[in-house]
Amino acid sequence: MKILTAAQTRAADAYTIAQEPISSLDLMERAAGALVQWLKQKYTPETPLYIFCGPGNNGGDGLAAARLLHNDGYNVQVFLPEVSQNPSADFTQNLDRLPQAIPVTRIQTSADLLSALPVQAVILDGLFGSGISRALEGLYAEVVTYLNQQEATVIAIDIPSGLYADAPTPSESAVVQADVTLTFERPKLAFLLPASGKYVGVWHVLPIGLHPEFLAQVESPYQVILLDTVKTLLRKRSKFSHKGTFGHALLVGGSYGKMGAITMSAHAALRAGVGLLTVQVPKTGYNILQTAVPEAMVLTDDHDLHLSQFPDELNKYQCIGIGPGLGQAEDSRLALESLFRQKLPPLVLDADALNLLASDRLLRQQLPPDTILTPHPKEFERLTGPAIDDFHRLQLLQSFCAEHACYVILKGAHTCIGTPSGEFYFNTTGNPGMATGGTGDVLTGILTSLRAQGCPALETCFLGVYLHGLAGDIAAEAEGETSLIASDLYKYLGAAFQRLSSR
Ligand SMILES: NC(=O)C1=CN([C@@H]2O[C@H](COP(=O)(O)OP(=O)(O)OC[C@H]3O[C@@H](n4cnc5c(N)ncnc54)[C@H](O)[C@@H]3O)[C@@H](O)[C@H]2O)[C@@H](O)CC1
Ligand SMILES: [K+]
């Protein structure tokens, strides 16, 4: 699903208004109707609803929702911060249509703000939407601060007020801290990035029937990975298949004290369906691997404690995953250097393989095309230099992927896949329970396995991050987020495959 900028959203609104055709006021009515439908499913008419409306169309949505909710018997109050400013036409029309029975409080100074709102109340934030063009200051900032002090649930209409949809929000701006954001038609880029996403709470997309023709034609490098897309990538295992049908993967990593990492990758690779798995570890890891993962074949390095060479006959593997628990010994860097000079099957690089790459510009230049790299933000910035903010990090991602013709899976709450042709694909599965050691090693195992089974690079990335997050979500349902550990991810990977194929 494409993500639109604020300007593209305005264009989509305008196109819909002209082509459907529908009046701007009726489109707002449709948006308000979608909000109200969502709210009615969640809250009873007795719930006190406090609706704060700014002067633009976001405020217009709030006013229209207030009327619809009131007409359905809901307990609604409206608050209008008054700052000398021309309200939008649709705001004014909806203010005129507001039933007299709805109490309206005009806020002229912060003294007009009520004392604390009831805890069981719901606040609708309709102060500003995607039309924000500068930092929120003065009375608006005071209202935002007041809202942020309330214990009542805050639901943002379209986007938390003060937040920029597709650019860094000025640090001096007041921003509403929402518990829930009900956004129209498409999520906004800001929802998916850590510095801005923290204001959004749980977000839901409410379709409002923007014109499908516009949505099909509009170009955007930003996309959200959808369940429907991922489902189509699952491959059925045919009756006459055998272990050779599902590829042979090689995982390389582990060092003294870090054998757990490569062990977890190995488990994950097997659970992700690879036909055969070989793991190359330093000698110290031999008994550990053979005991912990009897399904895998084990090769040992000449070195006792860390990796110093890659096995011969690399062409018998369909993918090589390198990095979990590897360490950063000079031997290992040299081994990578000589590896990159050979003709290779597809690679997945993680953890210390990325750190070795970061420390050696020449090695980076030898990176084979189509490689999948899986850095977390710190590893990523070691490769590219520091990012000023989340948006700059996306620019760095785009140029790195283009320069090295590779796929980068930038791990985070919404993991982002960068491609050589400049697109960004954001994942929506996963939860904070997965912020624990070893979950990245599991992802490496899954990706190496899928790639070895013949999945093309981008499809491997889609399927891998989605399944990894879904396994995490199923694990969190069973174990809770706090107690979730990395091995739960491969324990529930089978359930994730099943859930994906049954949906
Ligand atoms: N037909 C449409 O265009 C639709 C718009 N919708 C709603 O309209 C919203 C966008 O509406 P608008 O474009 O009117 O934008 P906003 O409602 O975000 O407000 C824009 C107004 O606020 C002013 N403003 C911007 N930044 C300010 C600041 N920091 N301090 C004070 N004033 C500031 C602008 O000059 C403008 O007058 C969406 O977020 C959505 O909620 C929905 O009703 C769906 C349909
Ligand atoms: K808002």
pLDDT in tens, 322-343: 999 999 999 999 999 999 999 9
Whether ligand 1 lies within 6 angstroms of the CB of 29 is answered as no
Whether ligand 1 lies within 6 angstroms of the CB of 61 is answered as yes
Q: Which residue has the tokens 């018997």?
A: 73
71 occurs within a structural domain: yes
Clarify whether residues 262 and 341 are in a common domain: yes
* Mutation probe of ligand 1 site: the residue of 26, 29, 30, 58 with most atoms within 8 A of C-beta: 58
Q: What is the pLDDT of residue 207?
A: 97
Taking the CB of residue 2, how many other CB atoms lie within 10 A of it? 14
Nearest CA to ligand 1 atom 1: 24
Average pLDDT over residues 409-432: 97
Q: What is the pLDDT of residue 235?
A: 86
Expressed in angstroms and rounded, the spacing between residue 290 Cα and the centre of ligand 2 is: 56
- Indicate if the pLDDT at residue 114 is higher than 80: no
Question: Which CATH number do you get for residue 36?
Answer: 3.40.50.10260
State how far the Cα of 83 lies from the Cα of 109, in Å rounded to an integer: 9
Shortest-distance ligand to the CA of residue 165: 1
Residue 445 sits at φ, ψ, to 5 deg, of -65, -45
- Indicate if the pLDDT at residue 378 is higher than 90: yes
Contacts of 355 (CB under 8 A, 6+ apart): 328, 379, 382
- Determine whether the annotation assigns residue 421 to a binding site: no
Q: Which two tokens stand for residue 411?
A: 């791990």
Q: What is the pLDDT of residue 50?
A: 98
Whether ligand 1 lies within 6 angstroms of the CB of 309 is answered as no
State how far the Cα of 16 lies from the Cα of 369, in Å rounded to an integer: 42
State how far the Cα of 503 lies from the Cα of 498, in Å rounded to an integer: 9
Asked whether 61 and 185 are in contact (CB, 8 A), the reply is: no
Average pLDDT over residues 124-137: 96
Clarify whether residues 186 and 320 are in a common domain: no
Question: Which CATH number do you get for residue 446?
Answer: 3.40.1190.20
189 occurs within a structural domain: yes
- Determine whether the annotation assigns residue 132 to a binding site: yes
pTM (two decimals): 0.96
Average pLDDT over residues 138-161: 97
Pseudo-torsion of CA 320, 323, 325, 328, nearest 10°?
130
Whether ligand 1 lies within 6 angstroms of the CB of 129 is answered as yes
Q: How far is CA 406 from CA 340, 372, 414, in A?
A: 14, 6, 20
3-state secondary structure of 53: strand
pLDDT digits (tens, 9 = 90+) for 248-257: 999 999 999 9
Residue at which a domain ends, from 197, 220, 243: 220
Shortest-distance ligand to the CA of residue 7: 1
Asked whether 61 and 28 are in contact (CB, 8 A), the reply is: yes
Expressed in angstroms and rounded, the spacing between residue 117 Cα and the centre of ligand 1 is: 26
- Indicate if the pLDDT at residue 259 is higher than 80: yes
Amino acid (1-letter code) at residue 26: D
Lowest-pLDDT choice from 31-45, 94-108, 110-124, 190-204:
110-124
Q: What is the pLDDT of residue 84?
A: 72
Q: Which two tokens stand for residue 164?
A: 């920029």
Expressed in angstroms and rounded, the spacing between residue 377 Cα and the centre of ligand 2 is: 29
Average pLDDT over residues 58-79: 98
Clarify whether residues 26 and 50 are in a common domain: yes
Q: What is the pLDDT of residue 195?
A: 96
Clarify whether residues 286 and 426 are in a common domain: yes
Q: What is the pLDDT of residue 65?
A: 98
State how far the Cα of 437 lies from the Cα of 233, in Å rounded to an integer: 28
Whether ligand 1 lies within 6 angstroms of the CB of 136 is answered as yes
432 occurs within a structural domain: yes
1 occurs within a structural domain: no
Q: Which residue has the tokens 């709102």?
A: 117
Instruction: Look up the ipTM and state it.
Output: 0.97
- Determine whether the annotation assigns residue 433 to a binding site: no
- Determine whether the annotation assigns residue 332 to a binding site: no
Clarify whether residues 199 and 237 are in a common domain: no
Mean pLDDT of the chain: 96
Lowest-pLDDT choice from 38-42, 108-112, 150-154, 355-359:
108-112
- Determine whether the annotation assigns residue 436 to a binding site: no
Taking the CB of residue 71, how many other CB atoms lie within 10 A of it? 11
Q: What is the pLDDT of residue 354?
A: 98
Whether ligand 1 lies within 6 angstroms of the CB of 221 is answered as no
113 occurs within a structural domain: yes
Whether ligand 1 lies within 6 angstroms of the CB of 57 is answered as yes
Clarify whether residues 207 and 265 are in a common domain: no
Clarify whether residues 275 and 167 are in a common domain: no
Question: In which band, very low, low, confident or very high, does the pLDDT at 73 lie, cut at 50, 70 and 90?
Answer: very high
Taking the CB of residue 13, how many other CB atoms lie within 10 A of it? 23
Task: Give the position, in ligand 1's atom list, of the atom nearest the Cα of 28.
Answer: 43
pLDDT digits (tens, 9 = 90+) for 18-42: 999 999 999 999 999 999 999 999 9
Query: What spatial distance separates the first Cα and last Cα of the chain, rounded to whole Å?
Result: 18
Shortest-distance ligand to the CA of residue 208: 1
**Maximum Cα interatomic distance, the chain, rounded to a whole number of Å:** 84
State how far the Cα of 127 lies from the Cα of 125, in Å rounded to an integer: 6
Average pLDDT over residues 123-151: 96
Expressed in angstroms and rounded, the spacing between residue 300 Cα and the centre of ligand 2 is: 58
Average pLDDT over residues 169-191: 97
- Indicate if the pLDDT at residue 384 is higher than 80: yes
State how far the Cα of 458 lies from the Cα of 162, in Å rounded to an integer: 35
Clarify whether residues 471 and 492 are in a common domain: yes
Task: Give the position, in ligand 1's atom list, of the atom nearest the Cα of 59.
Answer: 17
Q: What is the pLDDT of residue 357?
A: 97
State how far the Cα of 281 lies from the Cα of 300, in Å rounded to an integer: 5
Question: Which of 493, 353, 501 lies closest to 434, judged by CA?
Answer: 493
- Determine whether the annotation assigns residue 57 to a binding site: yes
Q: What is the pLDDT of residue 5?
A: 96
Taking the CB of residue 475, how many other CB atoms lie within 10 A of it? 27
3-state secondary structure of 215: helix
Expressed in angstroms and rounded, the spacing between residue 131 Cα and the centre of ligand 1 is: 4
Q: What is the pLDDT of residue 227?
A: 93
Clarify whether residues 63 and 194 are in a common domain: yes
- Determine whether the annotation assigns residue 61 to a binding site: yes
Residue 457 sits at φ, ψ, to 5 deg, of -55, -50
- Indicate if the pLDDT at residue 238 is higher than 90: no
DSSP state of 497: H
Q: What is the pLDDT of residue 115?
A: 82
State how far the Cα of 77 lies from the Cα of 468, in Å rounded to an integer: 44
Question: In which band, very low, low, confident or very high, does the pLDDT at 503 lie, cut at 50, 70 and 90?
Answer: confident
97 occurs within a structural domain: yes
Clarify whether residues 185 and 237 are in a common domain: no
Q: Which residues surround ligand 2, an ion (CB under 5 A)?
A: 58, 125, 156-157, 161
444 occurs within a structural domain: yes
495 occurs within a structural domain: yes
- Determine whether the annotation assigns residue 241 to a binding site: no
Residue ranges making up the domain that contains 62: 6-220
Clarify whether residues 280 and 188 are in a common domain: no
Percentage of the residues of the chain whose pLDDT score is greater than 70: 100
Whether ligand 1 lies within 6 angstroms of the CB of 28 is answered as yes
Residue at which a domain ends, from 220, 255, 274: 220
Expressed in angstroms and rounded, the spacing between residue 286 Cα and the centre of ligand 1 is: 63
State how far the Cα of 479 lies from the Cα of 473, in Å rounded to an integer: 10
Task: Give the position, in ligand 1's atom list, of the atom nearest the Cα of 161.
Answer: 18
Residue at which a domain ends, from 170, 195, 220: 220
- The domain total for the chain is 2
Clarify whether residues 173 and 215 are in a common domain: yes
